Chains A and B, each alone.
Chain A
Amino acid sequence: MSVPIADQITDIVRAIVAEVLAVPAGELATDTDLREVEGTDSIKVLRLIARIEREYDVELEDDDVFGVSTIADVAGVVRKALDG
């Protein structure tokens, strides 16, 4: 039984978010607004994006990253970059 790729991406994004923002992954729902997570600021968000880019060896477009707010959104941007 194969796990849908979308869920894998979401789980990895969640793990990276948890690590970069130093919060337990269990506290991060897919619809958690990343702008509201304790300790977040624009610098950490950019580092987060950089980590995800390295993980997947993709470059996420500023236009796409701009305006995302949840883990599900970020996973969607990654999926789009991988498909592209």
Chain B
Amino acid sequence: MSALPPVPREAPRTEPTLHERLDAVAATCPDQRIRFHSENAELTYAELVASSTRMAAGLAEHGAGPGDTIGLLAPNGPEFLQAVFAASRLGTAACPLPLPAGLRDLVEYGHRTATIVAASGMRHLVLSTRLQRMLGARAAQFGASAVLDSRALVDSSAELAPRSVDPASPAVLQFTSGSTSAPKGVVLTHANVLACAESITEAIALGPADAHASWLPLFHDMGLFGTLTGIFTGIPVNLWNPAAFVKDPGRWLAEFAATRSTISTMPNFAFDALLDAEPQGLELSAWRVCFNGAEIIRPASVAAFGARFAPAGFRAEAMTPGYGMAEATLVATLPPLGRTPVVDAVDREELTRGRVVPGTKEIMGLGRAVPGMEVRIAGGAPDGTVGEIELRGAAVTGGYLDGTCPFTDDGWLRTGDLGYLRGGELFFAGRVKEMITVRGVNTYPADVEAEAGAVPGVRRGRCVALARLEPHEHVAVVAETAAPEAEHKALRHAIAARVRRALGLSALTVHLTAPDSLPRTTSGKLRRLATAALLER
């Protein structure tokens, strides 16, 4: 029930695998360019076809074949995309691994990466030549039997015999869900990824006049599948490394504007960061779809950004807040094209009790189910009912690598998020799952508990961490201590320091309580519910 008439477009492509789709698109626009601004590199589509084929041949020489998983550690450079398509050509799944950020504890980073390597069962790990000095020695200890240099693979002189790849086989293994101790790999088939690209293409009428831009890491679902969608349309693609944006948002915006890109993907915090940028001299009128997702969207951020950059030609209707998750490849709902953002105002207290009543808390409308996707609340509850958001569609995963399936009895994806629908429009209301998402990064209370519980002064294992959404998304940790009051400040600092160091999480509050005041139950969920009640008092 879109408010807009259908947009005429070319017939959808039908090539069933990632590399076949790339090859077909590249045949129509061999000289179109993908620019990697932070790495001073670029690839034409024809070069991406040829170099990903050589990399596939190189991987095959090292024994990679159908059913394998290829790990990938690379910045937003040519080798990332080469490896994704090389994996596709071999009938193997590409498994992007997160890169360390800032001063993140390297021991902790190595531990987390090794856990993912073990969970995925990967034998081959492609390491970007650019990261050799920084990560080479460490990568050898992540557990993959072969760590292969990206440039050496692309320089392979081996021939790759053509092979047929099953569209129902895994193309990407995405490890953004799951706690540090139990990482969950989302299995995405060629069919899933192409369905997602098709949904986005249709929803935003993506066409030859567009250009895609992103500084999100390609190891993140929003970075990767946004970029692939652009590539499958044969348009110019502009990529930066995340550091380029974070270090100087204003400079990034100027570079973005200079590319005359029409499509961008960013989480909400980026719009706050851009408020310091100078609108003077910027020309932003080409920007027609400004995706906002991967964390809770604040209506205030959207409004402030729109007001600040309207004089530079930014149009309010370009802001495109959406809802999605790795389990649905990327996107589930988007607003109708050309609509200015829609905001609901509800009562905060009533919302926590599951009721939608007019009030002052503003919630961003996240649009409607994209083509090929269906959305419902708690098994099909009526409009205005708060319940778990459920999804069904061709882009939804068949399950996690460990065999677990996050589905309802009738086959819909359980998102673990709460929301309500109003006239088909989705509004986010909270989380069922024990997780917070800050700046696109998921953090699990169980991981925070493991760190906080190990701090001297905390009674052994006696602490509970909770995901909380008010006043902003954060984790509250409550720890039992027998230490005298005078030492509490230092203990709170020690707990916060350890969690920050290990998990890179600053969205944290620490509370101390007397021995035996926390509920004793072995169920993590019940323990957290009872502790939440304790915090409210």
- B493 adjacent to A46 (CB under 8 Å): no
- B134 adjacent to A46 (CB under 8 Å): no
- B104 adjacent to A35 (CB under 8 Å): yes
Query: Is A47 an interface residue when CB atoms closer than 8 A count as contact?
Result: yes
Counting chain B residues whose Cβ lies within 8 A of the other chain, the interface size class is 20 to 34
- B134 adjacent to A68 (CB under 8 Å): no
Q: DSSP class of A's interface residues: helix, strand, loop or mixed? A: helix
Enumerate chain A residues within 8 angstroms of B62, measured Cβ to Cβ: none
- B504 adjacent to A49 (CB under 8 Å): no
Task: Using CB atoms, name the residue of chain A closest to B269.
Answer: A43
Choice from A40, A53, A67, A68 contacting B506 with Cβ under 8 Å: A40
- B105 adjacent to A35 (CB under 8 Å): yes
Query: Is A80 an interface residue when CB atoms closer than 8 A count as contact?
Result: no
Task: Using CB atoms, name the residue of chain B closest to A67.
Answer: B106
CB distance from A9 to the nearest CB of B (A): 18
- B101 adjacent to A42 (CB under 8 Å): yes
Query: Is A39 an interface residue when CB atoms closer than 8 A count as contact?
Result: yes
Enumerate chain A residues within 8 angstroms of B102, measured Cβ to Cβ: 41-43, 45-46
Query: Is B248 an interface residue when CB atoms closer than 8 A count as contact?
Result: yes
Query: Is A69 an interface residue when CB atoms closer than 8 A count as contact?
Result: yes
Query: Is B496 an interface residue when CB atoms closer than 8 A count as contact?
Result: yes
What is the CA–CA distance of A69 and B504 in the complex, to the nearest angstrom?
Answer: 13
Enumerate chain A residues within 8 angstroms of B248, measured Cβ to Cβ: 50
- B506 adjacent to A66 (CB under 8 Å): no
Supposing A62-B134, A62-B243, A63-B134 touch, asked if A42 and B103 sit within 8 A by C-beta, the answer is: yes
What is the CA–CA distance of A62 and B106 in the complex, to the nearest angstrom?
Answer: 14
Residues facing A in B413-428 (CB within 8 A) are none
Enumerate chain A residues within 8 angstroms of B100, measured Cβ to Cβ: 66
Counting chain A residues whose Cβ lies within 8 A of the other chain, the interface size class is 20 to 34
Residues facing A in B469-501 (CB within 8 A) are 493, 496-498, 500-501
- B506 adjacent to A69 (CB under 8 Å): no
Enumerate chain B residues within 8 angstroms of A63, measured Cβ to Cβ: 133-134
- A36 adjacent to B500 (CB under 8 Å): yes
Query: Is A34 an interface residue when CB atoms closer than 8 A count as contact?
Result: yes
What is the CA–CA distance of A65 and B505 in the complex, to the nearest angstrom?
Answer: 19
Residues facing B in A47-62 (CB within 8 A) are 47, 49-50, 53, 62
Interface string of B334-352 (1 = CB under 8 A from A): 0000000000000000000
CB distance from A28 to the nearest CB of B (A): 14
CB distance from B253 to the nearest CB of A (A): 15
CB distance from A40 to the nearest CB of B (A): 6
Query: Is B361 an interface residue when CB atoms closer than 8 A count as contact?
Result: no
Task: Using CB atoms, name the residue of chain B closest to A50.
Answer: B247
What is the CA–CA distance of A33 and B493 in the complex, to the nearest angstrom?
Answer: 13
Task: Using CB atoms, name the residue of chain A closest to B75.
Answer: A62
- A35 adjacent to B103 (CB under 8 Å): yes
Query: Is B13 an interface residue when CB atoms closer than 8 A count as contact?
Result: no
B residues at A contact (CB < 8 Å): 100-106, 133-134, 243, 246-248, 269, 439, 493, 496-498, 500-501, 504-507
